Structure 1
Amino acid sequence: EGRRPPRPPPCPPSCSCTQDTAFCVDSKAVPRNLPPEVISLTMVNAAFTEIREAAFAHIPSLQFLLLNSNKFTLIGDNAFAGLSHLQYLFIENNDIQALSKATFRGLKSLTHLSLANNNLQTLPRDLFKPLDILSDLDLRGNTLACDCQIKWLVEWLESTNTTVPAVFCSSPGHFEGQRIQDLVLGDFQCITTDFVVHQVLPFQSVSAEPFTYASDLYVALAQPGASSCAILKWDYVERKLRDFDHIPAHSAVHCKPIVAQEQLYVVVAQLFGGSYIYRWDTTVDKFIKIQDIDSQKIRKPNDVEAFQIEGEWYFVIADSSKAGSTSLYRLNQNGFYSHQALHAWHRDTDVEYVENDGKPRLIIASSSQAPVIYQWNRAQKQFAPQGEVGEMLDVQMVKHFRVKRDQFLCLSRYIGDSKVVRWEGQRFVELQTLPSRGSMVMQPFSVGQRQYLALGSDFSFTHVYLWEEEKQKFAKFQELLVQAPRAFRSVLAADVQLLLAPSFKAKTLVYRHVVVDLS
């Protein structure tokens, strides 16, 4: 009696199988009922596009997996989970545009990996990190973009013992056709920055003045709608600004703190009802009004600046009324007293203190003429007129910044274009014109080595620009949604770089400057 022939191993209809191999064509899914001892699986021209998590976990003995000439576009996280014995993985001639970081997790025995001739344009950072003993990797035939997303691969290729045939960049233009193995980390400029909302202050304000007193950081904000100068204190634990005190101010346009001779003063400039000076009284822990400011000279204040010259403290108030006078005040033992009337009857809108070549100067912007420059006369201890800034009328605000040894001015206008000029001795060289209809503030500020410019608008977004040294101009960097901004002030709070953005019509915003590694 003859024996029955051995039963053939189980095999799906789309596959041909031996005891330990399976070759599948036109499969509609990863085949399920394969021989339990199969160690080699080949899939060609599969009729599905996605390999999902643990798709092959039911055949844990696999050592060789070839996925060739299929229509795969997506390979999910942990797609090969459970294949701890897999040594050879070939995924070739597909249309896989991207892989996830965890695609190859769990393949601790993999020695050979081919991703040749797919449509890969980038590779997620540390994609090959789980492959501890990988000896051969093939990335040829892809369209890899050699941008910051691929920087990690350049670093990995420098340090790995894995054999990798030459791979070429498809973009950007200056790298096109270049071997990735020939790139160095210095070829990539991947560090950028961003301004993100750190805190929303639930009130409107028109000025912000950070200051340090008794080793703590504070901010003074003028709140005309709330009839107050709000003093906020930085909480180093919560990393937030918190209420500290309020100075009554019925129509405040500027609250200027001055820390002089270990005393804290606040100049409260008001549109109506006069302007005043307060001092912090440490015996009762509150602000005490110590002075009225002459209302015959200061009728409609618009800006306050404070500074030291030869060890003495001064502040200057720009007055925007037809009958007022921009005035300088000096601190003596008993308070601040009128020192000099500077610029009468010109409806001044802003004043800026600048030290240029060791010489103290004031630049006063006016509604009726070009910005006027005053220079300090050391013998007379007064400012004397020196000239004008170009042919710029209706300048709303003047601010300065320095890059290396060069001095620059930012001249903002509410109607018309704002300008950036370089200050060269007695002349001003126009470098850039910026559209600025509706702008009440144009504030340069620096963070580390980066020079920024915030250009606000009552009609659109605030534009933040970044200075390009080689081109000697600002380039658009970011848009901020601040309604009717009236100031921008940068301040370092411990390790947090803040940008204060007072708003005349909405909540005051506090942005945080963050460094972003695009790689």
Structure 2
Amino acid sequence: MTDCDGSYVFSTPLVGPYPESLPWEGWGAWPPGGGSRVAAPSPASCPRDLRGNPFQCDCRVLWLLQWIPTVNASVGTGACAGPTALAHMQLHHLDPKTFKCRAIELSWFQTIAESALGVEAFSYQGEPHIVLAQPFAGRCLILAWDYSLQRFRLEEELSAPSVVSCKPLVLGPRLFMLAARLWGGSQLWARPGPDLRLAPMQALAPRRLLRPNDAELLWLDGQPCFVVADASKAGSTTLLCRDGPGFYPRQSLHAWHRDTDAEALELDGRPHLLLASASQRPVLFHWFGGRFERRTDIPEAEDVYATHHFQAGGDVFLCLTRYIGDSMVMRWDGSMFRLLQQLPSRGAHVFQPLLIAKDQLAILGSDFAFSQVFRLEPDKGLLEPLQELGPPALVAPRAFAHLTMAGRRFLFAACFKGPTQIYQHHELDLSA
């Protein structure tokens, strides 16, 4: 390391003899006793004049833009040589806030061998958990974090042949698990306390839940309820609310429409329910007078398989999944949802938004191509491509969930024709 005059400064003696291969020329005079460690001079003791230098004004100069206002400098500091959009602009005219020097990446972390149709995150006794609906294995699989191995491990499983959805509900020390099943009847399991195991508690509406396809949890008038979308030709979506120790039918909705998905959301301060079906456009219901009443449908949204919503900047958005055609992003305008964006999605069964850290993401899973991750750009108000998930590639993804554990953020991808994959969310500083 050179000092300001070009000579090298050494901090501790070097035990001889010195190797003959050392390039003596240009090193200056050795200090008495030689030297072994090279001491870097302080920037304050070694000033550099940056005036007149051309700069590539990208993330590499962000530190300089943030440093300039902290010193008493009244002279110009140089101009940008690139990129083209900033050529010849003076550094002191640049706004550090306009530099996007933070990137994110989802990288593979762990594989859960069995396939799954659904995945849900929940917190029980202060610990994050994940539950997977595994129809081929015939179970709801609960995973917890292994602090010694630093990976996810099996905590408990409950028998649920032909399960399509495992929906958790935590009420204080009690844990409930709804297992919606295609055959054999849907069940409610319960764990009275943290030291006990889940056990069957109740058969849920055996004459109403004929072919469940989705289940969601919602709160109505301060009480927890489940809504189960029924895809049978003669079935109807059923609202189950807590009454005493169990959950019982409160209302039947949308009979004969073969519903494939239910989404609970809040609009204008009131609970709403959005049902997607194979026979008509998605229908929006609102909670009024102790029951759900039809409010409107979503125009120009035929053949929607599933719906998910998210909030950003005070607005409510919908992600509508379409297997054939383009999936859609819509925004609530106060009276109905209006089309905002379309994304090619042939073979998609899931288009799911997730808020991870401070990034609003949306993942479009496909049976025929790589699953795409999009990020909402606040300046544009649109979803922009971020990355593809993989390797390993997802095989027929059906649901996503995320949780934060020990300061690390994880994304779970439930796949119908392949193993469940777990990815870790990383933040990258491009200005470093």
TM-score band (shorter)?
A: 0.7 to 0.9
CA contact (8 A) 2:175 2:193 kept: no
CA distance in 1, matches of 2:429, 2:301: 41
Pairing partner for 2:112 from 201, 207, 213 = 201
Q: Distance in 2 between matches of 1:283 and 1:434?
A: 44
Find 2:376's aligned residue among 467, 473, 482: 467
Greater displacement, 432-441 / 501-510: 501-510
CA change 1:280–1:177 in 2 (3 A) is same
Report the CA distance shift for 1:84/1:279 in structure 2 as closer, same or farther (over 3 A): farther
**Could you say what secondary structure the match of 1:174 adopts?**
helix
Counterpart CA distance in 1 for 2:185 and 2:142 is: 20
Deviation (angstroms), 1:430: 0.8
TM-score where L is the length of structure 1: 0.71
Query: CA RMSD of the aligned region, Å?
Result: 3.0
Preserved CA contact (<8 Å) 2:361 2:375: yes
- Name 1:67's counterpart in structure 2: none
8 Å Cα contact 1:138-1:165 kept in structure 2:
no
Partner residue, 1:507: 419
- Once the two structures are superposed, residues 331-364 of structure 1 have per-residue CA deviations (whole angstroms, 9 ceiling, x without a partner) of 1222111111112121111000011111111100
Equivalent residue for 2:282? 371
Instruction: Report the 3-state secondary structure (helix = DSSP H, G, I; strand = E; otherwise coil) of the residue aligned with 2:348.
Output: coil
Call closer, same or farther: CA 1:141–1:210 in 2, change over 3 Å. closer
Distance in 2, matches of 1:173 and 1:298, equals: 62
Q: CA deviation at 1:149?
A: 2.4
Q: Is contact 1:137-1:165 (8 Å) kept?
A: no
8 Å CA contact 2:365–2:371 kept in 1: the answer is yes
Letter in 2 for 1:515: E
Contact 1:302 1:350 in 2 (8 A): yes
> Distance in 1 between the 2:248 and 2:93 partners?
69
Does 2:174 match 1:263?
A: yes
Q: Tell me, in whole angstroms, the C-alpha distance in 2 between the residues paired with 1:154 and 1:358.
A: 44
Structure 2 counterparts to residues 123-138 of structure 1, below 5 A: 133-136=45-48
CA distance in 1, matches of 2:322, 2:30: 68
Deviations 1:67-103 (A, max 9, x none): xxxxxxxxxxxxxxxx868xxxxxxxxxxxxxxxxxx
Structure 2 residue 397 is the aligned partner of structure 1 residue 485: yes
1:498 to 401, 410, 414: 410
Deviation at residue 410 of structure 1 after TM alignment: 1.2
CA contact (8 A) 2:145 2:153 kept: yes
Aligned positions, number: 406
Q: Which residue in the other structure is 2:303 paired with? A: 394
Structure 2 counterpart SS, 1:150: helix
How big is each residue's C-alpha offset from its partner over 1:98-146, in whole Å with a ceiling of 9 and x where there is no partner?
xxxxxxx9485xxxxxxxxxxxxxxxxxxxx77774344679676x422
Residue number in structure 2 paired with 1:320: 231
Give the one of 169, 172, 176 matched to 2:87.
176
CA drift of 1:168 comes to 3.6
Instruction: Tell me: CA distance 1:56–1:261, structure 2 relative to 1, closer, same or farther (3 Å).
Output: closer
Q: Does 1:414 pair with 2:326?
A: no
- 5+ residue gaps, structure 1, are 1-38, 41-53, 64-82, 86-104, 109-128
Q: Which amino acid aligns with 2:400?
A: F
Q: Rg bigger for which structure?
A: 1
Question: Could you tell me which of 319, 340, 343 is aligned with 1:431?
Answer: 340
Q: Output the amino acid matched with 1:276.
A: Q
What residue identity is the alignment partner of 1:440?
A: H
Distance 1:324 1:84, change over 3 A: farther
The equivalent of 1:217 in structure 2 is: 128
After the TM superposition, which parts of structure 1 deviate over 6 Å for at least 4 consecutive aligned residues? Answer: 129-132, 138-142, 156-162
Q: Distance in 2 between matches of 1:485 and 1:320?
A: 20
Larger relative contact order (Cα-Cα within 8 Å, sequence gap ≥ 6): 2
Q: Which amino acid aligns with 2:138?
A: S
- CA deviation profile, 1:380-434 (whole Å, cap 9, x unmatched): x111112211131111111111123211111110111111111123222211011
**Aligned residue type for 2:424:** R
Tell me, in whole angstroms, the C-alpha distance in 2 between the residues paired with 1:419 and 1:55. Answer: 71
Distance 2:20 2:257 in 1: 79
Partner of 2:145: 234
SS at match of 2:82: coil
- Please state if 1:57 is matched with 2:22: yes
Could you tell me how far apart the structure 1 residues matched to 2:76 and 2:284 are?
A: 66
- 3-state SS in 2 of match to 1:234: strand
Q: Verify the 8 A CA contact 2:214 2:230 in the aligned structure 1.
A: yes
Alpha-carbon distance in 1 for matches of 2:72, 2:282:
66
Change (3 A) 1:382 1:138: closer
Ranges in structure 2 where 5+ consecutive residues have no aligned partner: 1-5, 8-18, 32-36
CA spacing shift, 1:55–1:131, aligned 2, 3 Å: farther
Specify the code of the residue in structure 2 equivalent to 1:59: W
The 1:146/1:56 distance shift into structure 2, 3 A limit, reads farther
Find the aligned partners of 2:122 and 2:76 in 1 and give their Cα distance.
Answer: 59
